[in-house]
C-alpha cells in the first residue's frame, strides 16, 4: 500500500465520519483503519467501503504494541490520525478504568510504536511524517456564564475521569514532541453531532427516544451550555490541520454554536414535529428532567479563531442546518440505529437515566 495514512478509532463516530469523508476524494491517500471494535465501534458505519481497496480494516487494540509494530512496518503510513478513545463522560463516572487504559495507556503505547517507526524512516519521510491527536474541549474544565471561551492557552482543569484521561493523553503527545522531536499536532474540539453517532449521546438519544415514545431525559435544569460542531465540519478542520498545521501546535475546533441542553432538545422536538409528526401533540411533551450527573460541567465554549487565522477554516454548517441534516439522517437510517442498540445498551440507558 502506497501513500497511506493510519486512522485509529476509525469505526467510531468521528473517526468513521473522517474515514468516509477522506475516501470520498478519489485522489486521497489510502487508509489503514485500526479499531478495537468496542461497543461504540460499528463496521456498519463503513459498509459503503466494502470492496474498496483503498480501505484496509484491522481489528486491533492500540494497547497492543506488537500488533501496532506489524501494521506500521507493513503499510508504512505517512501520517497517523489518532481518534481512538473512550469518550462518554457518564460511562467514565461509573467505570473509569477503561478510560485510563485506552486513553492514557493506549495513547502512550501508540506513541512509542510510532516513535520507533518514525525513527527508522529516511530523512525525507521523517520530515513529512505527522501524528495528529484528536482531543476535546473538556480538558479545560468548566466556564462561568460570562467567562471567555477556551483558547489554546487556557489552563487544563479536567473535572471527570474522561476529561482527565484525555488531558493526560494531550500531555503525552506534547511531551513526545518536545522530548523526542516527534512531529505532532493536536486538535481540541467541542461537542460533535451528526450521522453515525452512537445513541448514548444527547442528540441521537433524544431522537431515538422521541421516535420510540419514551421520555426525553434532561439532566438537572437543562441549562448546561455546550458549543456544537457538525462532524463534517470537524473532519474538514482535521484535514486542514494535518496538511498545514504548525508542528507542535494545538488548534481549537468549534462550531460557534453555544446552546443549552434544553435549547438543543427543544429544537430537536420542533424538527421532529415538522419532519415526523406524532398523531397528537408535540415531542416536547416527552421531556423529563432527571437527577444531574456528578461533576456536571456548566459551560464549554471554544474560541476557534487561531484555526481560522492560520489555516482559513470556519464551519460550513450553522447549528440549524447541521441539526436538520442530522435529524433527517436518523429518520432515513433507523436500521443502523436499531442494529447498534443492543440489550446491553438498553440496560445501561435505563440505569443511567433512572428517575
Confidence label for 335 from pLDDT (cuts 50, 70 and 90): confident
Is residue 162 among the annotated active site residues?
A: yes
Confidence label for 354 from pLDDT (cuts 50, 70 and 90): low
Rounded CA-CA distance 132/216 in Å is: 36
CATH class of 4-194+230-255+296-316: alpha beta
Tens of pLDDT, residue by residue over 4-31, are 999 999 999 999 999 999 999 999 999 9
Tens of pLDDT, residue by residue over 88-113, are 777 888 889 999 999 999 999 999 99
β-sheet bridge partners, residue 217? 288
* pLDDT score for 355: 43
Identify the active-site residue in 162, 176, 219, 330.
162
pLDDT higher than 80, residue 351: no
283-306 burial by CB neighbour count: b if 16+ within 10 A, else e?
A: beebbeebeebeebbebbbbbbeb
* pLDDT score for 78: 98
Identify the active-site residue in 30, 137, 170, 258.
137
* Crossing angle between the packed helical segments 261-275 and 202-211, to the nearest 10 degrees: 40
Which of 16-25, 38-47, 270-279 is least confident?
38-47
DSSP state of 104: I
pLDDT higher than 80, residue 348: no
Is residue 137 among the annotated active site residues?
A: yes
* pLDDT score for 120: 98
DSSP 184-215: EEEEEE-EEESTT--TTSHHHHHHHHHHTT--
pLDDT higher than 80, residue 177: yes
* pLDDT score for 154: 98
State the average pLDDT for the chain: 93
Identify the active-site residue in 30, 86, 90, 138.
138
SS (H, E, C) 223-242: CCEEEEEEHHHHHHHHHHHH
Task: Please give the model's pTM, rounded to 2 decimal places.
Answer: 0.93
pLDDT higher than 60, residue 87: yes
* pLDDT score for 338: 83
Rounded CA-CA distance 4/57 in Å is: 13
pLDDT higher than 80, residue 350: no
pLDDT higher than 80, residue 170: yes
* pLDDT score for 353: 45
Confidence label for 345 from pLDDT (cuts 50, 70 and 90): very low
Amino acid at each position: 500500500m502506497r501513500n497511506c495514512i493510519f486512522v485509529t478509532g476509525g469505526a467510531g463516530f468521528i473517526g468513521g465520519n473522517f474515514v468516509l469523508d477522506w475516501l470520498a476524494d478519489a485522489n486521497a491517500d489510502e487508509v489503514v483503519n485500526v479499531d478495537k471494535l468496542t461497543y461504540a465501534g460499528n463496521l456498519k458505519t463503513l459498509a459503503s467501503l466494502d470492496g474498496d481497496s483503498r480501505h484496509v480494516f484491522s481489528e486491533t487494540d492500540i494497547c497492543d504494541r506488537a500488533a501496532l509494530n506489524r501494521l506500521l512496518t507493513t503499510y508504512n503510513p505517512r501520517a497517523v490520525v489518532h481518534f481512538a478513545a473512550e469518550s462518554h463522560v457518564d460511562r467514565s463516572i461509573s467505570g473509569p478504568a477503561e478510560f485510563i487504559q485506552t486513553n492514557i495507556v493506549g495513547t502512550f503505547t501508540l506513541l512509542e510504536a510510532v516513535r520507533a517507526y518514525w525513527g527508522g524512516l529516511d530523512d525525507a519521510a521523517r520530515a513529512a511524517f505527522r501524528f495528529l491527536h484528536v482531543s476535546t474541549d473538556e480538558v479545560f474544565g468548566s466556564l462561568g456564564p460570562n467567562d471567555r471561551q477556551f483558547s489554546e492557552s487556557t489552563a487544563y482543569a479536567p473535572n471527570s475521569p474522561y476529561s482527565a484521561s484525555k488531558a493526560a493523553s494531550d500531555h503525552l503527545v506534547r511531551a513526545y514532541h518536545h522530548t523526542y522531536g516527534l512531529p505532532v499536532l493536536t486538535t481540541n474540539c467541542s461537542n460533535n453531532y451528526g450521522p453515525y453517532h452512537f445513541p448514548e449521546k444527547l442528540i441521537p438519544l433524544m431522537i431515538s427516544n422521541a421516535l420510540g415514545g419514551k421520555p426525553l431525559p434532561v439532566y438537572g435544569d437543562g441549562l448546561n451550555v455546550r458549543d456544537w460542531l457538525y462532524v463534517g465540519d470537524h473532519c474538514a478542520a482535521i484535514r486542514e490541520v494535518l496538511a498545514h498545521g504548525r508542528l507542535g501546535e494545538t488548534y481549537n475546533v468549534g462550531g460557534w454554536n453555544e446552546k443549552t441542553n434544553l435549547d438543543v432538545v427543544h429544537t430537536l422536538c420542533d424538527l421532529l414535529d415538522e419532519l415526523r409528526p406524532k398523531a397528537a401533540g408535540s415531542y416536547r411533551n416527552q421531556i423529563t428532567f432527571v437527577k444531574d450527573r456528578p461533576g456536571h460541567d456548566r459551560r464549554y465554549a471554544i474560541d476557534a479563531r487561531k484555526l481560522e487565522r492560520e489555516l482559513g477554516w470556519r464551519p460550513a454548517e450553522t447549528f440549524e442546518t447541521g441539526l436538520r441534516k442530522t435529524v433527517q439522517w436518523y429518520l432515513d437510517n433507523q436500521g443502523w440505529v436499531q442494529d447498534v442498540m443492543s440489550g446491553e445498551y438498553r440496560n445501561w440507558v435505563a440505569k443511567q437515566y433512572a428517575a
